[in-house]
Amino acid sequence: MTTWGSLAAVVLGLVFEWSGVAKIASRAAWQVAGTPFSTGNAAVDSVLRIALPWLEVLVGTLLILRLAPVASAAAAAVMLVAFTAALVRVLATGQRPRCMCFGAVRATPISWASVVRNALLVAAAGLVIAGA
């Protein structure tokens, strides 16, 4: 793995770790259901609320340790694209709800800067894949 690929893997992994751990620490405060980010399906929202933080921790760990870097970076990219699509969908309606992207620790209103941040993280995932 190249130096840039390794650096991107660690940075992206730390972001995913922070996001997952912050959601887990937020406990019931981190929700999907009843927010503008809801899928519209209560069962899916419930599964996301429980599984997503742990998936973020797993992907983050794999990235930091550089285990299966292509697969873990691809998983990160897919999740980031899905998160970004949700952000764009909500922003396009003119709403700016508080997002608990990083748990209750950093529940700030979303903006187009959130979309840019995610695009940069997708680029980091691309660096991991290219540098593997």
Task: Supply the range of the domain harboring residue 112.
Answer: 3-131
How many other C-beta atoms lie within 10 A of the C-beta of residue 113?
A: 9
pLDDT of residue 101: 83
CB atoms within 10 A of CB 2: 12
Q: What is the pLDDT of residue 108?
A: 85
Average pLDDT in the 104-128 region?
Answer: 91
CA atoms within 13 A on the CB side of 17: 12
**pLDDT tens-digit map of 65-86:** 999 999 999 999 999 999 999 9
Domain count across the chain: 1
Given a cut of 90, whether residue 24 has pLDDT beyond it is yes
Residue 88 CA to residue 55 CA, distance in Å, equals 22
Cα gap 116→132, rounded to integer Å: 24
Mean of the per-residue pLDDT values of the chain: 93
> Please, which pLDDT band fits residue 31 given cuts at 50, 70 and 90?
confident
